[in-house]
Amino acid sequence: MKVLIFEYITGGGFNKQALPDSLVQEGQLMLQALLACFAQLHTIQVQVMLDSRLQHCLCDQTVDIVLITSEHNSHDSFAKLVQQADAVWPIAPEFDGILQSLCEQVEAFGKPLLNASSAAVALTGNKYLTYQRLLQHHIPTVPTELFENARCHSGDWIIKQIDGAGCSDSFLVSHPQGFDRALQNSKKFIIQPHIEGRTFSLSCLFRHGQAWLLSVNLQHFQRVNQHYQLQSIHVNYCTDTRVYADLATTIACAMPELWGYVGIDLIETAAQKLVLEINPRLTTSFTGLQAALGLNVAELVLELQHGLPTIKPTRQNILLITVNPHDTAF
């Protein structure tokens, strides 16, 4: 079985411009963690697209590396390689429709997609559509409005790009000038009340209405000027996961489009747990699952193609992942 992996940042998505250092670090982290999973699956041949400027960063002799230079059209190269693969795993941010477009290409060629479908990405990649679906199914979530329809509110508010990833294009405002600044941006935004609480992420597997919780992760953010920056993550932080597992199952029923690895961001107050975002792709927390729990996510996702995953943790560690403060952590 031949699996094509295209991590957008390191795989040539930025081949015609300077590489953003922080995004590259994040992309490399996820790519290397996924390759480590596949290295344990000896019946799988892995092919990886790699920006030629980063070829020194990947020296695995068992991986078929396709170098992408500035002369290539990375999307055309991806399409050609998809046709030669038996399955495809794209890793990309949702903004500007990047992940959705890659998933649509794979689906158009009729190849198995080891990520959520383009329909699931279209839903969860749009924070306002996600909010509406959660609200429809009575799942506690952070109140959300389209910024263009919102009036100037008093108090503290978070303005986010509607399809943004991580902390990018997201800022805290508490005065009219902040609203004016957002209006000057051509991108589409949502607005949410700023809620104080602990921030968690759930690492899950989904299969069309079913959900399996892998770990509950505590996220640590730092407020810098008008932005929040992710500093670190404690993977597998919580051992009593029953409430979180029930929440994941409720979300699976509300969003049967979801499939594969999914990350769910929560903000937790003394009164309730509120869903903040749903990420239909690999997340930073994924990179710690093997060390924390002994789980091979690649193997589990492949099992989802044919039935139920066999989730048997071999250890119970809490793993601290330190994140570059300038990373978007998409």
Domain with CATH 3.30.470.20 in the chain: 124-139+196-322
Whole-structure pTM over 0.85, yes or no? yes
Q: Tell me, which fold does domain 2-115 have in CATH?
A: Rossmann fold (3.40.50)
Residue 181, pLDDT score: 63
**Closest to 116 measured CA to CA, from 88, 79, 139:** 88
Work out the pLDDT band at 59, boundaries 50, 70, 90: confident
Domain covering 124-139+196-322, topology = D-amino Acid Aminotransferase; Chain A, domain 1 (3.30.470)
pLDDT in tens, 280-329: 999 999 999 999 999 999 999 999 999 999 999 999 999 999 986 544 44
Q: What are phi and psi of 159, to 5 degrees?
A: -105, 125
Read off the pLDDT of residues 126-185 as tens digits, 9 standing for 90 and up. 999 999 999 999 999 999 999 887 666 677 888 888 987 665 567 788 765 666 665 566
**What percentage of the chain's residues is helix, strand, coil (to nearest 5)?**
35, 30, 35
Residue 91: CB atoms within 10 A of its CB come to 24
- Region(s) of the chain under CATH 3.40.50.11770: 2-115
pLDDT tens readout for residues 73-119: 999 999 999 999 999 999 999 989 999 999 999 999 999 999 999 99
